Structure 1
Amino acid sequence: MEKPSGKVTVREATIDLLRRLDMTTVFGNPGSTELPFLSNWPNDFRYVLGLQEASVVAMADGYARATGRAAFCNLHSAAGVGHALGSVFTAFRNQAPLVISAGQQARSLLPLQPFLGATEAANFPKPYVKWSCEPARAEDVPAALAQAYYIAMQRPRGPTFVSVPMDDWDRETLQTVPRTVSQDSAPDPMLIDKLAATLQKAKRPVIVIGPEIDDEGAADQAVTLAEALGAPVWVSPFSSRASFPELHPNFAGFLPAAPQAISATLSEYDVVVVLGAPVFTFHVVGDCPLFRGDVSLFQITGDGAAAAASPIGTGIVGSVRLSLAALLQQLPVGKRNTTLTPRPRDIPLARDPIPAAYLLHAIAKSMPADTILVEEAPSHRPLMHRYLPIATPGNFFTMASGGLGYGLPAAVGVALARPGRRVVCLIGDGSLMYSIQALWTAAQLKLPVSVIVINNSGYGAMRSFMQTLNVQSTPGIDLPGIDPARIAEGFECSAARVTEAAGLEKALAEALSQNGPSLLDVIVDPDVPKLY
């Protein structure tokens, strides 16, 4: 790469750096402290405007995960970063590579506690960014952004943060030359040998699949391993991506985030291989006898902290893609028969009010095969797993954090990352209200995003947990008086509401065939099943 010479402004050096790093799509919501950066915006850059900073970060998150590249996000000073923190937390849990910049008041004003000034700006988003700084000198801004990019892209990937005082952009500096920095680490060969030897002796091996498999594009390797071992494959609790084809005969199902249930499932096997996931993600308390058993467990992950946190087993830290390549070289090639019994796929009955199961079954029948699904309907996720299987890895995204507000703006980011593909955003009515303004961006950009609202007039997950925790009555659960279709029309988005099963098929067909975005509000039975 040709080395630039001579001095340029910090802004010019930054624009050149972003261009060379392929970060010419910038997600933002501007304020006064960002104007010097945005002045004379280059024609080859795309600025994606979101109407609230949490949505801006979630859009960038969806875009980064769908492209596999770091996304650049520009926020407004302290208040804007504060608005965005929920989505920053989600991006951290999603391992989404983001470079987040935020404006800061002029350096000359900072000692005077100025309006919009951020106190300890670099510490504000911690601990949910991998790295953050406010450069000591204006001249250091481009180099800091380059460092933020390399750290964001190293596994485990995640968001980074750079605060830039507004008077830095016109200062002179030298251009920053992009470098090649490795993103993956190789596994310990001795531990791979140990795992291969253990698997060759195993009588009842099982595989647990997590989101790192999809992130690294290693789903085909996971299928090859499962077939070679004749092993059933379970998906890790709250996996935020689809990493194994759910119609494959070795696919066993989804592990719940409950200690006793996980223990009961995995205790049936003599060797457990966890690929690209934390070993145990719990959502409720309980005893896990597996911790005291004699099961042999191996975890392969690029996340050293996740490996260190596991209470049992052997942790192999390194790229799952590189690890599987090394492991498969030592295992017999071919398919071993498995005794897995295919899961029954019943057809839910149509009735009124519309059962959520029937809606999900109808969506599965209506969606084109290459549709990408972005989901944020926590109370209906077990039903989604049952009636809306994801046949192709790479076509499903949700949040790993449990924080609401991700789904709709993430769907916008995914649609921008995968042009020409239909994106379905499956979302609850409670979740929708966290980030409804993202519909405006979808409408302005005419994105093929079909938003399907599972409207049970409340926070369904809370209704479910009331059963789990044996809570009889609480305030703040019901959400009457919300009409998502009318709100969507206010954003100039095509919208409709369905209240009867008889009209569902036609409404879905129309929602999935719009040239731009659409919203379909489906009123469903408010009863939700117990999650655990």
Structure 2
Amino acid sequence: MSTDGTVIDMESGAAELVHLLEAWGVRHIFTCPGSTEAAFLKAASASEDIELILTTHEAIAVSMADGRSRVAGGPSIAYLHANVGLTNGLSHLFAAKLAHSPVVVLNGLKSTAIQNRGGFTTAEHMRDFVRQYVKSDWQVLSPTAVLEDVNRALKISTTEPQGPTWVGLSQDLLEAPVPRARPDAERSRVPGRTRPSRQLIEEAARVLSAGTRVLIVAGAEARTPEDVEELRTLAEILDAAVVEEDRRTAERLVFPTGHRSYAGRYSIGRQSVSSADVVFLVGARSFIEFEPVANPDLPANATFIHLYPDPAELGKLYGTDIPLAGTVAETLHELNEILRASGQTPARSTAHLEAAVEENDRLTATTLERPPSTTADAGKTLSVREVMHSLPGTIPSGVTVIADAITSNGLVFLAAEQMEDVQVLASASGSLGWGLGAALGAQLGDPNRRVLAVLGDGGFQFGLPGLWTAARYDIPTIFLVINNQSYAAVGAAVRRFAGTLTDDERASFVDLSGADLAAIANGFGIPGVRARTLSELGEALREAFERSGPSVIEVMTDPVDLGP
């Protein structure tokens, strides 16, 4: 009741929070809950629009939210429990940060009355756990601020450059009654599509039109159909070669691989890259270094133009001749109009484009070429190269591929490039286990495309709790596990460092043999099969795509093959 005697319509903060999420179009909440979330769980279960997706590990909740946002757009909610649950989800929150994925982490905290008394599952500096992985972090201070603070987090998360946010929600604040006066979700949305100054775009147009060996690098921030269409138009105007961003930063396959300008993946070792006189990074990072580099990743004498929605990425490692802070479609649309209208696109030689395409075709054929003898006949263990060589002829069109096989990811991308109407998502975070949960989220985000997750055996074991969720909700994701029974990346690193990897060393920190991963899948109630030959693999994949629910296919590959 107000001071003047008027009766105020009240509902719990948790119930009002659910209504706010409904208004934002949230349809799934991914959670591994605890006792602090009781009020919210009760309210969410009564919603006709939102489905609670239960997980048995917080990392799966975060990666599912990430995968859903990457394919469907818009914010996704991961609701985590206290300090212990938040800690479990941090590695995949890092993946969401790198992907500019609008994941909103709602973190259930113990009652404010015991947070400063060393209460059960409390921590003194909750915001410090997450601040380096999110665009904003805030712990709500009062019941009446719950809706405003969560609404603000949703706005920030979905505003370009998008990214994850965190809100701490104490148990007592959600249980308390609050006035029914939630923020207007529609008026809180900020389109945030921006473009650089006209002067900078005109300067970019002049440099691009003058270049004779222009190379366009398509990055993950070119993620919408409009982005790709403007990118395609630019390539055709300039007769320029287009490559995907470096494999260390790759988050998705962007440019249509059947287009005449498509020339593979960026690598400074390629002649088409090192000889470029203009390099235009479009929605790509520059770069993520795996180890200290002796030489820069950019051609020494090239003019460098960089378009990215986050200004912090421009000039981050290398100086930029023309920095374009803006979103892809808006900036490229104006750039294309300038190039068409100004007559700055005279007939040009296509020699560099043709050489780049020929170089990529040659390298792809060499890399994916099947060895002359059939290992199924010879009785030898399959190589990863053979497995990837077989996929394009087996996988149906219109599939989303989640690439999370670490040392094999380069081959996964190469194989996907040979498929029809394929979408590929990956993570540059190095967070093992991301792919399994992300694949489930992607399947929920776009039910019309079957999801094939290509996972390493080590990463698969990190993500095992996700199988329970896949089975519980009958999510029809197919998990193809490349089982070389090794931490191959570790073995390769030791070999690079020391020149050799002994049998004792392999047994000590590389060997992962012993687990029957297909049998483990069956234990979760998911059909699991182990394939040792290409014919067995092909049959398993055909059956999996015909099945309406989830499947696990464990393909055994050479444990001595440590990848690149």
What TM-score comes out, normalization by structure 2 length? 0.88
- Partner-residue secondary structure (3-state), 1:244: coil
| 2:183 equivalent in structure 1 | 176
Are 2:561 and 1:528 equivalent residues in the alignment?
yes
Contact 1:61 1:413 in 2 (8 A): yes
One of 213, 220, 233 as aligned partner of 1:224:
233
Q: 1:213 offset after TM fit, Å?
A: 0.6
Please give the alpha-carbon distance, in whole angstroms, between the structure 2 residues aligned to 1:157 and 1:80.
Answer: 24
Deviation of the 1:217 alpha carbon:
4.5
In the TM superposition, residue 466 of structure 1 has moved relative to its aligned partner by 3.3
Matched, 1:15 2:18: yes
Equivalent residue, structure 2, for 1:67: 72
Question: 1:387-402 alignment to 2 at 5 Å?
Answer: 387-389=415-417, 395-402=423-430
Q: Indicate conservation of the 8 Å contact 2:392/2:418, yes or no.
A: no
Tell me whether 1:489 sits opposite 2:497 in the alignment.
no
Report the CA distance shift for 1:279/1:265 in structure 2 as closer, same or farther (over 3 A): farther
1:411 to 439, 442, 460: 439
Residue 536 of structure 2: which of 503, 512, 518 is its match? 503
Q: Match of 1:366, as an amino acid?
A: T
Residue type of the alignment partner of 1:484 = L
Contact 2:108 2:170 in 1 (8 A): yes
Per the alignment, residue 368 of structure 1 pairs with: 396
Match of 1:339 in 2: 354
Does 2:129 align with 1:96? no
Match of 1:77 in 2: 82
On the 8 A contact 2:28/2:52 being kept in 1, the answer is yes
Show the counterpart of 1:116: 121
Instruction: Choose from 29, 33, 36 the match for 2:32.
Output: 29
Q: Where do 1:455-474 residues align within 5 Å?
A: 455-473=483-501, 474=505
The answer for the alignment partner of 2:209 in structure 1 is 200
Report what 1:285 is aligned to: 292
Q: 1:520 to 1:292 in 2, by over 3 A?
A: closer
CA contact (8 A) 1:184 1:318 kept: yes
Within the candidate set 383, 407, 411, 1:355 is matched to 383
| C-alpha contact (below 8 Å) 1:465/1:530 kept by paired residues | no
User: Which residue type is aligned with residue 476 of structure 1?
Assistant: F
SS at 1:416 equivalent = helix
Following TM superposition, by how much is the alpha carbon of 1:214 offset from its aligned partner in structure 2, in angstroms? 1.8
Residue identity in the other structure for 1:245: P
Partners of 2:98 and 2:412 lie apart in 1 by: 22
Q: Shift of the alpha carbon at 1:14?
A: 1.0
**RMSD (Å) for aligned C-alpha atoms:** 2.2
**What residue in structure 1 maps to residue 303 of structure 2?**
296
Cα–Cα, structure 1 residues 530 and 358, in superposed 2: closer, same or farther, change >3 Å?
A: closer
- Structure 2 counterpart of 1:164: 169
1:454–1:521: 8 Å Cα contact kept in structure 2?
Answer: yes
Identity of aligned residues (%): 27
1-side partners of 2:202 and 2:329: how far apart? Answer: 16
> In the alignment, which residue of structure 2 is the partner of 1:384?
412
Deviation by residue 1:448-491 (Cα, 9 ceiling, x = unmatched)? 21111111001122233334334533431110101110110011
Query: Counterpart of 2:556 in structure 1: which amino acid?
Result: I
Question: What is the CA–CA distance in structure 1 between the aligned matches of 2:191 and 2:446, rounded to whole Å?
Answer: 26
Report how many residues are paired: 523
1:290 and 1:480, CA in 2 relative to 1: closer, same or farther beyond 3 A? closer
Per-residue deviation at 1:13? 2.1
Corresponding residue for 2:509?
476
Higher helix share: 2
Stretches of structure 1 lacking an aligned partner (at least 5 in a row): none
Going from structure 1 to structure 2, the CA distance change for 1:199 and 1:393 (only over 3 Å counts) comes to farther
C-alpha separation in 2, matches of 1:469 and 1:206: 34
